[in-house]
Amino acid sequence: MNIITLVMGDPSHDGHNIEEKITYNSNYTIKQITEAYRESCNILGFSFIDDCREEYENSLIPEYMVNKFIEVGILHKAPCKTEDGYCPEPICSPCYSSFCVRESDWVQMPTKKEYIYEDGKYLGIKEIDMGLGLNMDSDNHADIYIAIVKLTLGNLVMERCSNYNNEIDIGGYGLFSV
């Protein structure tokens, strides 16, 4: 097994400096997973990493992506049938393969500002309606990434390591005081 850590947020620490990491045991290497992700982007027609949640305070997945995820089987409209009946949750993903989406989960996306110039002269700002988006948390974001990779690597295994930590805290808090 390979140890794989998915990093979300601002790992370069050049903006808001907030990131979250989720670590998994996987039957594939990082190289194989990233190559499969790129192949899956060709199937989808977009990059989830580059085209979604790339701006600060934009936590919504655009409607066109959600519709494509429904089309390829990554997302499912609620109610979804489960072993215990029907899924009561708006989002469910017990095995990183399907989610439930209800109408109440849709949120109006923030408008996009476009600055208008003509012949180098500033004319004003145009507000562009970006439509609806789906709000999901970081766990769901990681689950969708894994499901995208599984479009190409159907037998991908990603088992979450809940207590995995490769860092050792050696103290020294006072080293960095003013």
pLDDT category at 79 given cuts 50, 70, 90 is low
Give the residue, 44 or 49, on which the prediction is more confident.
Answer: 44
Domain boundaries in the chain? 2-165
Higher local confidence (pLDDT), 172 or 30: 30
- Separation of alpha carbons 83 and 22, rounded Å: 27
The beta strand positions in the chain, using DSSP E, are 2-9, 19-26, 60-62, 75-77, 81-82, 85-86, 99-101, 106-108, 112-118, 121-128, 132-135, 158-160
What sign for the dihedral angle of Cα 114, 116, 122, 125? Answer: negative
Residue 25 backbone zone (phi > 0: left; psi -120 to 50: alpha; other: beta) = beta
Report the 10 Å Cβ neighbour count for 68: 17
pTM: 0.70
pLDDT one-digit tens code per residue, 100-152 = 666 666 677 667 778 889 998 998 888 877 667 777 777 778 888 999 999 99
Phi-psi group of 154: left, alpha or beta (phi > 0 → left; psi -120 to 50 → alpha; rest → beta): alpha
